[in-house]
Amino acid sequence: MTGYVYLGLAIACEVVATSALKASGEFKQVGPSLLVLFGYGGAFYFLSKTLQSIPVGVAYAIWSGVGITLVTLIAAMLYRQKPDLPAIMGMLLIVAGVLVIQLFSRNAGH
């Protein structure tokens, strides 16, 4: 269970960092730039802790699927970047792939 807590923290840090990247103005805005730097630093630190108990492929699949979905939702709210139908369908396929790994793969770290 601890591995999934670390993975959740890694995803949260990465989502904050990625969401702040646009606001950093190519690293000209100090506050958002610091969020980016500390967010990615935290993300990789927590991901390294995650990999002590969850296989790297599984962790990365979950990281990617959840991260893509959350960043897209935040971008829609903060920056009015609405995904079109093919983008939504693609994200649903990614989430479905993560679910298949979690539910059926022997490598999912259960």
79 part of a folded domain: yes
Which pLDDT tens digit goes with each residue over 13-54? 999 999 999 999 999 999 999 999 999 999 999 999 999 999
In terms of phi and psi (left: phi > 0; alpha: psi -120 to 50; beta: otherwise), the region of 80 is left
110 part of a folded domain: no
26 part of a folded domain: yes
- In angstroms, the CA 46 to CA 14 distance is 10
69 part of a folded domain: yes
User: Which structural domain range is residue 18 located in?
Assistant: 2-104
109 part of a folded domain: no
Whole-prediction pTM: 0.86
